[in-house]
Amino acid sequence: MGFSLATWNINSVRLRIGLVERLLKENAPDVLCLQETKCPQGQFPTAPLKALGYEHIAEFGQKGYHGVAIVSRIPFHAQHSRDFCKKGDSRHVSVSFGGDMPFALHNLYVPAGGDEPDREINEKFGHKLDFLAEMEEWSKIDAAPKGYGAITVGDLNIAPHENDVWSHRELLKVVSHTPIEVENFARIQAAGGWVDVMRNHVPMSKKLYTWWSYRAKDWSVADKGRRLDHVWATDELAKKCTGIEVLRNVRNWTQPSDHVPVIAKFDFNAS
């Protein structure tokens, strides 16, 4: 069975619903996970997506900030959202898929963390570190229900490896690539037995970005990117992943998000 999954920080789904429709028409993933939808619960624009055959939608939103959604052509069950750090933020939604290889799918939007990598002077960075600490415990205990594999995708707001940023040296003190964030990231992966599916298919020696700042005059020429968007899978599911594609060209679409979609393809019949 072939299965394709896309993840994309859309940075306002109502503003960019036309781009979402275009992505679905041109690439036709079975499931699309969106982050930073910035859409109050119950106001997610479902009609145009259902018209394209994506009739199964799990959303968790709030006014103006955050927000996550899973849009699927395939029926799912057991929708759930976790309130990380008990802040009432809409940063996690999960669903479960059945079949011969049942799995839980988690869609996450990790806090960006502000500008200063010091929790003593930056409450946002402290929140990010607390969120990551809770993610480690969640990975260990709750991410993969008994009898299920798991896939986690989303804007995790950390670029963990040297070639996940345009300059390792210059970004070591910049939030998203600081040593403490990278160390937390590695602990989360180890706690859940997560495999970094993207780096399974793209050598660590190769630069890999999914985000480029709006501040760059010509983002493509400057190419000062970071890999903030991720696809993780538990071991058996990771072995079924046949390919990864980062849709860099989407950054050139009209009024784009500063993130681009990532598509992961799986073959559940693969040995």
Q: Domain limits at 146?
A: 2-267
CATH number of the domain within which 157 lies: 3.60.10.10
Q: For the segment 196-206, what is each residue's pLDDT rounded down to a tens digit?
A: 999 999 999 99
Q: Give the containing element (helix H, strand E) for 232.
A: strand 229-233
**pTM above 0.75?**
yes
Q: For the segment 36-80, what is each residue's pLDDT rounded down to a tens digit?
A: 999 999 999 999 999 999 999 999 999 999 999 999 999 999 899
pLDDT band for position 99 (cuts 50, 70, 90): confident
Q: Which of 118, 131, 117, 129 is nearest to 89 (CA)?
A: 131
User: What are 158's two structure tokens?
Assistant: 């950390």
Q: For the segment 192-229, what is each residue's pLDDT rounded down to a tens digit?
A: 999 999 999 999 999 999 999 999 889 999 999 999 99
User: What are 160's two structure tokens?
Assistant: 């963990």
Question: Total domain count for the chain?
Answer: 1
pLDDT band for position 271 (cuts 50, 70, 90): low
